[in-house]
C-alpha cells in the first residue's frame, strides 16, 4: 500500500469528509487520505445527532454559524436530491408555552429573516394545532425550511464521490492517530498501524480537536468538554402525536435548546435530548468514565465557572437524566397528553462543547491554521447541516495556503 499522500484529513465525520470532497473537486489530482479511528465513518457527533436539517433561525446574524448554516443547508438539500439521500424539508414549529416565550417570538422571527430564511410566520394556537394537533402552547413560529436527513447516508456518499474523483484517495478506518510531526521533507502521521506521509494535515477531530491542536503547538484559549444527551423514542401507539418537528423557544441564558420532538427519516419519533456533563469524551452510557478525560475537564477553571453560572440548570439536567418521570414532565410541556408508557429509552450522543477559561461557551465555529496544518477547533451544531459550506471554507484556506 502506498503511504504517501498530498493531504491527510484526521477524522471521518461530516466536516472532515466534506472538506476532503471540496478539495478533491477543486484539485482532482491531489491524493487525499482520511484517517478514522473507528470501524466506519460518522460514528460520533455526525451520526449521533438528531438528524435535523437546521434552518439557521437561532444564530446571531453575521456569525459563521448563521452564514454557513443557511448556505450549507441549501447546498445539502441539493446534494440530497441529486444523490437520492433520504430527507424531507418538512418544516418545524418553535412553540411558546408561556408569556415570556411568546414575547420572544417576534425577536426570533426577525433574527431568522436577517439570516435569510423565507416564509417564516407566527401562528396563533389554533393555526399551530392545525399543523401539530397534540401540541399545547400560546403560539409558535413555523419554520418551513427546517427538515430531516439521514446524515450517515450523506457521509457514505461523500466517501464514494471522493474515490470516484480520484481512485488513489480514500478512507482508512481503524486507524487512530497517535502522533504527527514535520521533518525536512514532509509531515509524518503516525497511527496505531503504520506511518503515512503528506504535505498538509487537516484536523477534523471533534471531541479531541483541542488535544491534537495542542500537540501541534497551538496555544489555546479553550478546552473541549463533553456533554451527553440522552433521547427517548415514542412508542408506536404514541407516534401519531408528532407529525414533524416540535421545538421549544430557546432560553438565551443557556447553551442548549431544550428537549424537542423530531421525526427521523426512518419515521421514528425521538424526544430529547437532555444535557449532562460526561466523565468520558466519548461516554455514551450513563456509567462511562475515563480518568484522563475527567481530570482534563475538572482541572480546567472554565468548567467550574460554567458549573457555577448554570448550577440550577445542570442539576435539573442530572435529575432529568436519572428519572424517566422527570424527563416525561419536560416533554409534557409541549405535548401534555403523553403518558409514561408512551416513551422508551433511545440512543445518546455526546456534544463537544468548547469552553473559554471564563466559563463561557464558545458559540461560533472556529478554524485555525498553523504552518501547513489546519485545525477545526470548534464545530458544534449546526455543523452537520453546514458541513458542505464548512468544507468549502476550509478548502479555500487550503488553496490560499498553496498560492
- pLDDT tens per residue across span 32-43: 999 999 999 999
Residues 6+ apart with CB under 8 A from 154: 14, 76, 79, 80, 85, 387
| Neighbour-count burial of 384, counting CB atoms closer than 10 A to its CB (0-12 exposed, 13-18 middle, 19+ buried) | buried
Return the H-helix or E-strand segment holding 99: helix 99-114
Residue 322 has pLDDT above 80, yes or no: yes
State mean pLDDT over 115-122: 98
- CATH 3.50.50.60 location in the chain: 7-46+152-221+363-402
Range with the lowest mean pLDDT among 92-96, 305-309, 390-394?
305-309
Confidence of residue 89 (pLDDT cuts 50, 70, 90): very high
Residue range 266-295: mean pLDDT, rounded: 95
Q: Exposure of 122 by Cβ count < 10 A (0-12 exposed, 13-18 middle, 19+ buried)? A: middle
Where do the CATH 3.30.9.10 domains begin and end in the chain? 54-65+87-148+226-356
What band does 402 get if pLDDT is binned at 50, 70 and 90?
low
Which CATH entry fits the domain spanning 7-46+152-221+363-402: 3.40.50.720, 3.50.50.60, 3.40.50.20, 3.10.150.10?
A: 3.50.50.60
Assign 200 a pLDDT band (cuts: 50, 70, 90): very high
Lowest mean pLDDT among 321-325, 338-342, 389-393: 321-325
Assess contact for 65 and 365: CB atoms under 8 A.
yes
CA–CA separation, 160 and 170 (whole Å): 9
Q: What percent of the chain has pLDDT over 90?
A: 91
pLDDT, mean of residues 268-276: 94
Q: What is the pLDDT of residue 312?
A: 87
**pLDDT tier at 1, thresholds 50, 70, 90:** low
Residues with Cβ within 8 Å of 333's Cβ and at least 6 positions away in sequence, in order, are 97, 136, 248
In whole angstroms, how far apart are CA 101 and each of 58, 111, 368? 14, 15, 37
Q: Is the pLDDT of residue 256 over 80?
A: no
Residue of 184, 182, 187, 160 lying closest to 9 (CA atoms): 187
Q: Is 396's pLDDT higher than 60?
A: yes
Element (H, E) at 187: strand 187-191
What's the chain's average pLDDT? 95
Mean pLDDT for the stretch of residues 178-207? 95
At residue 316, the pLDDT reads 87
Indicate the pLDDT class of residue 158, thresholds 50, 70 and 90: very high
State mean pLDDT over 104-129. Answer: 97
Q: 161-171: per-residue pLDDT in tens?
A: 999 999 999 99
What's the pLDDT score for residue 184? 85
DSSP 28-86: TT--EEEE-SSSSSS-STTTSS--EE--S-SSPTTSHHHHHHHHHHHHHHHHHHHTT--
Look at phi and psi of residue 67 and say left if phi exceeds 0, alpha if psi is from -120 to 50, else beta.
Answer: alpha
The residue with greater pLDDT, 403 or 99, is: 99
pLDDT at residue 403 tops 70: no
Evaluate whether the domain defined by 54-65+87-148+226-356 bears CATH number 3.30.565.10. Answer: no
pLDDT attached to residue 164? 98
Which residues is 270 bridged to in the sheet? 233, 262
Question: Is residue 346 predicted with pLDDT exceeding 70?
Answer: yes
Amino acid at each position: 500500500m502506498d503511504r504517501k499522500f498530498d493531504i491527510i484529513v484526521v477524522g471521518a465525520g461530516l466536516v472532515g469528509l466534506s472538506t476532503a470532497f471540496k478539495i478533491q473537486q477543486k484539485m482532482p489530482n491531489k491524493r487525499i487520505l482520511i484517517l478514522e479511528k473507528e470501524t466506519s465513518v460518522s460514528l460520533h457527533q455526525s451520526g449521533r445527532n438528531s438528524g435535523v436539517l437546521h434552518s439557521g433561525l437561532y444564530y446571531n446574524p453575521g456569525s459563521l454559524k448563521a452564514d454557513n448554516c443557511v448556505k450549507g443547508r441549501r447546498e445539502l438539500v441539493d446534494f440530497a436530491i441529486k444523490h437520492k439521500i433520504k430527507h424531507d424539508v418538512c418544516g418545524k414549529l418553535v412553540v411558546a408555552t408561556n408569556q415570556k416565550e411568546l414575547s420572544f417570538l417576534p425577536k426570533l422571527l426577525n433574527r431568522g429573516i436577517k439570516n435569510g430564511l423565507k416564509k417564516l410566520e407566527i401562528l396563533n394556537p389554533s393555526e399551530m394545532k392545525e399543523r401539530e394537533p397534540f401540541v399545547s402552547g400560546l403560539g409558535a413560529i413555523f419554520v418551513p425550511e427546517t427538515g430531516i436527513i439521514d446524515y450517515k447516508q450523506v457521509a457514505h456518499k461523500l466517501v464514494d464521490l471522493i474515490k470516484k474523483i480520484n481512485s488513489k484517495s480514500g478512507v482508512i478506518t481503524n486507524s487512530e492517530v497517535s502522533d504527527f510531526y514535520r521533518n525536512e521533507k514532509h509531515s509524518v502521521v503516525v497511527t496505531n498501524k503504520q506511518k503515512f506521509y503528506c504535505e498538509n494535515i487537516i484536523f477534523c477531530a471533534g471531541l479531541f480537536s483541542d488535544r491534537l491542536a495542542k500537540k501541534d503547538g497551538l496555544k489555546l484559549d479553550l478546552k473541549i468538554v463533553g456533554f451527553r444527551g440522552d433521547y427517548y423514542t415514542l412508542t408506536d401507539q404514541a407516534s401519531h402525536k408528532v407529525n414533524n418537528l416540535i421545538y421549544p423557544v430557546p432560553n438565551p441564558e443557556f447553551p442548549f435548546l431544550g428537549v424537542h420532538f423530531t421525526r427521523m427519516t426512518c419515521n421514528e419519533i425521538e424526544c430529547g435530548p437532555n444535557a449532562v456533563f460526561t466523565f468520558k469524551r466519548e461516554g455514551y452510557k450513563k456509567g462511562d468514565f475515563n480518568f484522563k478525560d475527567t481530570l482534563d475537564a475538572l482541572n480546567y477553571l472554565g468548567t467550574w465557572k460554567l458549573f457555577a453560572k448554570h448550577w440550577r440548570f445542570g442539576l435539573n439536567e442530572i435529575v432529568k437524566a436519572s428519572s424517566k418521570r422527570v424527563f416525561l414532565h419536560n416533554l409534557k410541556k409541549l405535548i401534555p397528553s403523553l403518558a409514561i408508557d408512551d416513551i422508551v429509552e433511545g440512543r445518546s450522543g455526546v456534544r463537544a462543547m468548547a469552553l473559554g477559561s471564563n466559563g463561557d461557551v464558545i458559540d461560533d465555529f472556529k478554524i485555525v491554521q498553523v504552518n501547513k496544518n489546519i485545525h477545526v477547533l470548534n464545530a458544534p451544531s449546526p455543523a452537520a447541516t453546514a458541513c458542505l459550506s464548512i468544507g468549502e471554507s476550509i478548502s479555500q484556506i487550503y488553496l490560499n495556503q498553496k498560492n
